[in-house]
Amino acid sequence: MIGAGDSPRWCPLSVKAATLGCVSAALDELERVYRSEATRLRAALARRIGDVVLAEDLVQDAFAEAAAHWPTDGVPANPGGWLATTARRKGVDRLRHLRTGEEKLRLLTVDAARDRSAGTDGSAAADAAFTSAGGADDELLTLVFACCHPSLPRESQVALTLRTVCGLTTNEIAAAFLTSDATMGQRLSRARSQLRGVEVAMPDPDELSSRLAEVLTVLYLVFNEGYLASAARTPARRDLAAQAIALARTLHPLMPREPEVLGLLALLLFHEARAATRFDGWGRLVRLEDQDRSRWDRARISEATELLDRALVMRRPGPYQLQAAIAALHAAAPSWEATDWCQIHFLYGRLAAVDPSPVVRLNRAVATRYVAGAQAALDELDALSADLDGYRLLHAVRGELLAAVGRSDEARIATQRALDLATNPAERELLARRLARIGSASTPMGGQRK
């Protein structure tokens, strides 16, 4: 799980490779706790000491100590409390050693004293006291805004937030940005250096708008990672998807007149409404056209529709509102065949005008297929090949379109390229099935390729 630019001290997948003779049950629990607690601990520590980078370092140190002790000493009764206590005590030790940060040291010393009175293993009461000032979602959102500091380049803001707030690895973030692990590692390292010492606090109301675009991008990318995980261990991260929705809900009251906040929240809810139908009983990915629409969450769809309507009334359209409108059309269609592809194609055209990214144009090409045919969509994809050659979905879509126009050999090559690039297990299984179908369709009875 460690990639270029990640802290070398501890990361859950590396523990199994680096620690011989450890108890697998303890490591499994450590992996689970990392996913459920690390983000909350970073946010709480950063709020307490006002230093994003130091908070991340202390959480990493705490998990490193857990990796060293839990396999032999056993998992504590309250793992989250144990980690919070350990992180605070390590912070006290580090600040004393550096002889700096007197106010930070005072705050952590008070917390450490509370831990000692509550019990050395970090009781639930001590842990609750540590995180009681403000809700967890408020703390996380504050940390998001801190990482999206205007002193950082925009892409570095988003990347650092995904790393620090959400715990995504360097390779997961690199995949989201369609760049290499090495490039992303360097970007994260520079961003950490620039952000060291920056105050962790919610910006003044008149400063919120200047950071909004980056914050919305972070929430969108976090949800995407939860919706279809880039890591090879699990097809989806429901915890990340839920976290993105919770943060969007927390952001809305702060900026009630910002239509893009409403648009993003609506978009996430439209997609989340289909979550129960996206995988079958064997964990295989189910495409939108094959999903059981009777199982879609109509309450979420109704809420998302209301939010989108409120955003559109403000008459300040933006990319998240346009994407939500496209998702609304899918949600409203009684079947795949009844989908209003002409309207979807029109909206993708509008979206490409405000966000002319290659990925948006790829999605528009998918809609083109159902409006003007597979060959017209292929013609659109030809212009994207250079920009998205390393993007699995380009080759997956191209393989489908080539198969639809009868170019089976080229379809097989494109689908194989998509399979080579894919890391999500469910996505790889779907592509493998598709590749098998293309192969059988292009092979006559004698077994010779056409």
Write down the pLDDT at residue 249: 95
- With bands split at pLDDT 50, 70 and 90, how would you rate the model's confidence at 320? very high
Short-list 161, 267, 283, CA closest to 224: 267
Write down the pLDDT at residue 3: 43
Write down the pLDDT at residue 12: 52
What number is the average pLDDT over the span 230-246? 80
- With bands split at pLDDT 50, 70 and 90, how would you rate the model's confidence at 19? very low
**What is the pTM (predicted TM-score) of this model?**
0.75
What number is the average pLDDT over the span 123-142? 58
Write down the pLDDT at residue 446: 42
The residues that bridge with 279 in the sheet, in sequence order, are 285
What number is the average pLDDT over the span 378-405? 92
Q: Is 165 helix (H, G, I), strand (E, B) or coil?
A: coil
What number is the average pLDDT over the span 185-195? 86
- With bands split at pLDDT 50, 70 and 90, how would you rate the model's confidence at 209? confident
Write down the pLDDT at residue 349: 96
Whole-number average pLDDT of the chain = 82
Write down the pLDDT at residue 271: 97
Q: How far apart are CA 2 and CA 169, in angstroms?
A: 7
Short-list 349, 351, 298, CA closest to 320: 351
Write down the pLDDT at residue 99: 54
Q: Which of 53-57, 89-93, 313-317 has the highest mean pLDDT?
A: 313-317
In this predicted model, what pLDDT tens digit does every residue of 98-129 receive, in sequence order?
655 454 445 444 454 455 555 544 444 444 44
Q: Which two tokens stand for residue 122?
A: 């970090």
Signed CA dihedral, 140, 223, 181, 30: sign only:
positive
What number is the average pLDDT over the span 57-64? 85
Q: Which amino acid is at 262?
A: L
% of the chain with per-residue pLDDT over 90: 42
Task: Give the Cβ contact number of residue 276 at 10 Å.
Answer: 12
For 303, counting Cβ atoms within 10 Å of its Cβ (0-12 exposed, 13-18 middle, 19+ buried), the class is middle
Upper half-sphere CA count for residue 369 (Cβ side, 13 Å): 18
Q: Are 185 and 6 in contact (CB under 8 A)?
A: yes
Write down the pLDDT at residue 339: 97
DSSP notation for 381-412: HHTTTTTTTT-HHHHHHHHHHHHHTT-HHHHH
Q: Which of 23-27, 38-42, 274-278 has the highest mean pLDDT?
A: 274-278
Write down the pLDDT at residue 33: 81
Per residue, the 3-state secondary structure of 56-92, as one string, reads HHHHHHHHHHHHHHHHHHCCCCCHHHHHHHHHHHHHH
Tell me: pLDDT of 208 over 80.
yes
What number is the average pLDDT over the span 377-392? 90
Q: Which two tokens stand for residue 108?
A: 């952590």
In this predicted model, what pLDDT tens digit does every residue of 70-100 receive, in sequence order?
888 888 888 888 888 888 888 787 777 665 5
DSSP notation for 285-305: B--GGGS-GGGS-HHHHHHHH
Write down the pLDDT at residue 130: 43
Q: Is 364 helix (H, G, I), strand (E, B) or coil?
A: helix
Tell me: pLDDT of 218 over 50.
yes
Write down the pLDDT at residue 139: 81
Tell me: pLDDT of 2 over 50.
no
Write down the pLDDT at residue 135: 62
Tell me: pLDDT of 259 over 70.
yes
| Separation in Å, CA 93 to CA 104, 108, 112, 234, 243 | 12, 10, 11, 37, 32
Task: Give the Cβ contact number of residue 92 at 10 Å.
Answer: 20
Q: Are 291 and 245 in contact (CB under 8 A)?
A: no
